Structure 1
């Protein structure tokens, strides 16, 4: 499969994640972020485990729980804290700093060279996200900012380590292990930190099914497949398409207005994502001459 096909397939994951805000606000009860995160991760992980029938070997358990913490448990909790304490645009813009963190971490952990074009594309994309989402009344809360930066760093570390630690199983198997580990970490936190959920309606159940089956199981399987095939910096740049999906759904489904500045921001993000794919491309190996 060509690199272009791998990129387009991997980009489906953040496009789906862009629906999370709409589904969470319109279909799920408010005030239970950790509980909902656990219900999103654990059932999806157990379902994939049943389908793949592939349990992690004992030697991999530590790595699986580290990745499940970084990619799901810690990331989702910090994401919810940032979303509650910051305007959505500010939280998403802090999350858009993740590609630059991936570039730095990949240099240290994978030995990937830092390319000026990749850094410029990541910075330009973050600017585009800011234009797309931040309004004039945006306020900064120190705890929210710390949570937003921490969430971006957690996902960045999870992305790079997922590339570094590649077990000999399918992408579905990797996703099953990490979702289950993340859900097992989130479950006791939910029981300790939050009250019991109210009775769930059919709409609530449909929202959880979407976030668990499509927004977690299917999308992360596609994402981890891409992480194993594409350069970490290029994969991270694809995550910037998620805010575009969120804004587009708000416009189509909720009737939210779009300004020319937001349109400019979306165009900048898409251009930066394209440039990031080119800048992060690994150089072709020179052909070896037969002795």
Structure 2
């Protein structure tokens, strides 16, 4: 009987973890769809990122206070999270949104799991499996279809560069070298890392984005979402509360119930969700080759990520457990 109870509890935990991971993917996937109308209404992409990060940091402030000793114990970890997973990924992703479709930007960003293998193989000089290499090849081929390389790149080159930069920021976060727990052996609470990382991101973006120069009046009116007027503040509330706070928190909780590999695979549904939402809500229709290429990119990302050799057991946050899940969203996006 105890064995049955334990198995039932484990199954329940996995089910809850999958549900949380799906909620997180849905929340992150809706960020670009809500942000693009704000950008098109006159807000600078950096200002939208600042509003998102600063608003989320304000909501998470009680958690930051609860873990107020964390910056003294793990300054490098928090700085890396703030610069890569918060500022870099989101700023580059939103900049890409201002020039190319949401689905294309996110699919390009999802080259990150494949790019990580290059770091593992050529910098860390660790072996990678043939399946992982095959995943990289699949992702690169799918990307060629997404950007319609046969027509001389059908999208804005700078927009594609921003999307690739977002992918590189994800890679930079994946490889943060902090392989162990704290001196006492206890890893930092991932929610505390999120809260302080958002504060770091908000501080950096305040200097870079110069929000005092923002068109604040754009938030008092409406933005156009596929010819439909939507209150700008409603879109901003979605970006802050759902696409950032809910997305990050549910992502962390899902990783605690699932392995990072399983949670990462579910997270890749974000690209599908974002593409479908952009199609329905923004009227951003993709051609058949682009849809096929997007599917190939995702399959390649799945293959590359699942085939990467598992690291030795280490602290969940420091070793890229919850953070790997977090930064795989983008963050972002």
Shorter-normalised TM range = 0.7 to 0.9
Distance 1:93 1:14 in 2: 14
Match of 2:130 in 1: 116
Match of 1:160 in 2: 175
Where in structure 2 are there 5+ consecutive unaligned residues?
A: 1-9, 222-230, 314-333
Residue among 77, 80, 87 paired with 1:66: 80
Match of 1:245 in 2: 273
Which secondary structure does the structure 2 equivalent of 1:36 belong to?
A: helix
1:126/1:194 CA distance change after superposition, 3 Å: farther
Measured against aligned partners, the alpha-carbon deviations of 1:41-76 in whole angstroms (never above 9, x if no partner) come to: 122123223146222241322331222001111222
Measured against aligned partners, the alpha-carbon deviations of 1:104-125 in whole angstroms (never above 9, x if no partner) come to: 3356788864222123224323
Match of 2:32 in 1: 21
Contact 1:118 1:279 in 2 (8 A): yes
TM-score (norm 2): 0.67
More moved, 265-274 vs 75-84: 265-274
Contact 2:113 2:301 in 1 (8 A): no
2:236 paired with 1:208: yes
Shift of 1:180: 1.4
Contact 1:99 1:156 in 2 (8 A): yes
TM-score (norm 1): 0.76
Where in structure 1 are there 5+ consecutive unaligned residues?
A: 286-291
- Report the RMSD for the aligned CA atoms in angstroms: 3.9
5 Å-filtered alignment, 1:1-291, equals: 6=17, 9-10=20-21, 12-26=23-37, 29-51=41-63, 53-55=66-68, 56-85=70-99, 91-106=105-120, 113-128=127-142, 130-131=144-145, 134=148, 136=151, 138-139=154-155, 141=157, 143-161=158-176, 164=179, 168-191=187-210, 194-198=213-217, 200-201=219-220, 203-224=231-252, 230=259, 240-257=268-285, 259-276=287-304, 278-280=306-308, 282=310
